[in-house]
A = this chain, B = another copy of it.
């Protein structure tokens, strides 16, 4: 159950905790204090304790957190163990790159299929996933409903394609189209990838080098 008071900012930090803890677990770290977790992540210890307190009691006074337990617990909260299913709609270069390289399984998703309108890609397979014609999507979703559609299609068909998929029961969109999609249907979730936000953050950092370097 989602608690009413869990802010988007907290939710967005969960994958970062999961990533950091997975990395520590891989390094063989067994336990960690909120202070050292904070140092590694650039977050204050009190912020970390406050974030975790939204979901229950994880740490132990004087011991800190058990890295693997906390990692699995956060993974569970994120739904990684729920075997979500998805399809990729649009197998241009970006869709192809995701099918080829993105570790869907490691984030708890299995790829049920891929769809496109272009005869040049229909019938090909990427990483074992066959690209099927868009006309088959109705039948496919009726037989095998999915939790998420990865939208990697051109902007001008983004909203209409989303609407068509929502009418077919899709409620989750991983949206790479750079169009802000919306729907009046309740319960539809859009997660937009904003590449530009990331590049602009880098732009800021190179435009404003640390003070230390300016006055050596």
Contacts and interface: CB of A to CB of B under 8 A. Distances in A.
A15 B196 contact: yes
A172 B174 CA distance: 28
Q: How many copies of this chain does the complex contain? A: 2
A206 interface: yes
A3 B214 CA distance: 12
A203 B147 CA distance: 9
B209 A2 contact: yes
A1 B211 contact: yes
Contact of A187 (B23, B186, B204, B213): B213
B107 A2 contact: no
Contact of A199 (B23, B109, B178, B200): B109
Interface of A: 1-4, 8, 11-12, 14-16, 18-19, 23, 42, 77-80, 82, 84, 92-94, 96-98, 100-104, 106-109, 147-148, 171-174, 178, 180, 186-187, 189, 191, 193-211, 213-214
